[in-house]
Amino acid sequence: MAFSFDATWGAEHTPKILETLSRHQVKTTFFLTNIWLEKYPHMAKKIAEEGHEIGLHSTTHPHFTALSQEEMEKELKENYQKVKEITGYEARFFRPPFGGYDDRVIRTCHLLGFQVIQWDVDSLDWQEGMTAEAIKKRVLNGVKPGSIVVFHNNGRYTAEALDPILPELKKRGYEIVPVGQLLLQGEYYIDHTGEQRPVRS
């Protein structure tokens, strides 16, 4: 299974999240926007230096389904360039802001060589009133083999929730990897639920 972190606002809680991931020897995927990268380039570099995978999360965090193809391409290309310029990372994956996508979004991303990544477990760590205990329960009750969990780089209680979540998942036999290591390689198709399935000959 994979853990992922979306970065759009703030960075005060990010060092504690990175420290927690490091202590548990876990690598994850961070999806970064340009509006965040421009404010916190040092933090983006640290994420890359610590061996986490980096994905795209757009330039300005718009609703992609409301954009023209040209606008989508601009958001993606500028995001890719900024990630590469600051971290040296050549991102292959894109998470649409707000999780919003349709066939046009998928097609445009594929044209540019990016794979769209969603999630099946939402930690809701960004919501007011979500405690570390509530985040922990949501994640532990929601995961299954192959799950992708979404967190945020600046969730107030995210690091505190990760501390008990990570050992519990390892105890259950899960290995937590970056999104790129979770995806099927070779020929596959996407079923009606959005999951990858291998093509059987």
* Band (196; pLDDT cuts 50, 70, 90): low
Catalytic residue numbers read: 6, 152
Give the domain extent around 58: 2-198
* Band (28; pLDDT cuts 50, 70, 90): very high
What's the chain's average pLDDT? 94
Q: Angle formed by the axes of helices 158-171 and 132-142, to 10°?
A: 30
pTM for the whole thing? Answer: 0.92
How far apart CA 31 and CA 4 sit, in angstroms, is: 7
CATH number at residue 58: 3.20.20.370
| CB proximity list for 182: less than 8 A, separation 6 or greater | 1, 2, 146, 148
Residue 135, pLDDT above cutoff 70: yes
* Band (183; pLDDT cuts 50, 70, 90): confident
**Mean pLDDT calculated for residue range 163-183:** 96
* Band (186; pLDDT cuts 50, 70, 90): low
**Mean pLDDT calculated for residue range 45-65:** 98
Residue 19, pLDDT above cutoff 70: yes
Range in 13-27, 117-131, 186-200 the model is least confident about: 186-200
Residue 193, pLDDT above cutoff 80: no
**Conformational region of residue 92, where left means phi above 0, alpha means psi within -120 to 50, and beta covers everything else:** alpha
| CB proximity list for 20: less than 8 A, separation 6 or greater | 159, 162, 163, 166
Q: Which pLDDT does position 113 carry in this prediction?
A: 96
Cα-flanking dihedrals φ and ψ of residue 29, to 5°? -120, 130
Q: For the chain, how many structural domains are there in total? A: 1
**Mean pLDDT calculated for residue range 64-85:** 98
* Band (198; pLDDT cuts 50, 70, 90): low
Residue 182, pLDDT above cutoff 80: yes
